[in-house]
Structures are given as C-alpha cells and as structure tokens.
Structure 1
Amino acid sequence: MKALKGLAISLSVVLATFVGTVQADEVRVPISEQGSGAGIETPKSGITQASVEQKFGSPQAIHGPVGDPPITKWVYSGFTVYFEYDRVIHTVIHHQ
C-alpha cells in the first residue's frame, strides 16, 4: 500500500512538471478581419462559370467534376472557386 501511495505521489509530481512546461501561442484575429481576404475580390455564390471566367480570367487549374451533384474546383492565384453544375457554391481565399 505504501508503494502504491509513493507511486501515485511520484506520478503526480511528474504530471505536474510536464503540464507546467507545455506552452502554446494564441493567434487572435479580430472578427472584422476574419474571412476578409485582405480586400481580394472573389466570385459571389450563384454566378455562372462563364461569368467567373469573364471577370477573373481562365483559372490556373481545373479539378473535376466529381460526384453527384457534380462539383468542380477552379484554382486561381489568390482563391479557389467551387461550382455545383455551373454555379458558384463557395469561394475559399488562400492562406498567405
């Protein structure tokens, strides 16, 4: 019993030491800046592939269509556009 009590105390000291040395950085992004893309203009949901290409030019890469409904991904230098059939469903700004 004494051995178990000593082991429990030793384990507690080791855990306290370990936990006390863990550190992490916290990144705070003001709500007004979240998802802002630093002023990058992107296609709006609902517009057609033809409209996107007319306004933003040809994409650097095209992936798809994949699945049902068919989802296609167009990659530009600052963002990626996702289409369902030929309509924009989402745009993701690339992390810089």
Structure 2
Amino acid sequence: MNNSVLIKGLVSVVFFASASATSLYTHSEEIRIPVGSQGENSVELPNRGLSSKQLLSQFGEPLQTNGPVGSPPISQWHYDGFVVYLEGDYVIHAVRKPKPQKNSASE
C-alpha cells in the first residue's frame, strides 16, 4: 500500500476523532431572563472592592452565607434583594435576585 495514502487516512481519522471529542465539550446553554424579571432597579448594590466590614456596616448582616469555596476562596452573602460575591475579604460582584414569576393561571 502506498505510504502517502496510509498517512492521509491516518490524518483523516485523527482529525475526525478529535473534532468529535471537541464537540462533546463545547455544548452551551443560553438562559434568557426577561428584563422585567431581572430584579428591582431600586435595590442598591454594594460597590466592588468593599471590604466585608464595610459591607456589614452599609448593608447589615446577610440573611444567609455560602462558602468560602475554592482557590481563591469565593463566598456568597445573600441579602433580601441581591447576592454579593466576595473573594477573600473583598466584594468582587453583586447581582440582583430575579423577581418571582407571576403565575398567569392564578390571576
């Protein structure tokens, strides 16, 4: 058998096998939340960079905390209308909690 044909065949097999394996790991899901249900705009969010002491001083005790988890350590502090994410002792992000969906069947 011709060596160039054998090499082309092997290259094709390797290419298609790697393309198939890659497609297994590239799946993504898009989640859409209507603008009206993304949380109350009137809810003040803490600024990035606040220390946990400053956060407690401005917003009080959280209703619930999760973590820290991972490296660097990430914690979640849950307040009534939002969740604050801390890396170590500092705020890195805050997000509003979605509004509860109204059930149109009960209206």
Give TM class, smaller chain: 0.5 to 0.7
Q: 1:64 aligned to 2:82?
A: no
- Which structure has more relative contact order (CA 8 Å, sep 6+)? It is 2
Give the paired residue count. Answer: 66
Q: Which amino acid aligns with 2:96?
A: I
Q: Which residue of 2 aligns with 1:49?
A: 52
Q: Would the alpha carbon gap of residues 38 and 84 (structure 1) be closer, same or farther in structure 2, given more than 3 Å must change?
A: same
**TM-score scaled by structure 2?**
0.56
Instruction: Give identity over the alignment, percent.
Output: 39
Residues 18-50 of structure 1: per-residue CA shift (max 9 Å, x gap): xxxxxxxxx874xxx8x7842211100011011
Structure 1: gaps (5+ residues): 1-26
Q: Would the alpha carbon gap of residues 64 and 36 (structure 1) be closer, same or farther in structure 2, given more than 3 Å must change?
A: closer
1:39 maps to which of 39, 42, 65: 42
Structure 2: gaps (5+ residues): 1-32, 100-107
**TM-score scaled by structure 1?**
0.62
Q: Would the alpha carbon gap of residues 39 and 84 (structure 1) be closer, same or farther in structure 2, given more than 3 Å must change?
A: same
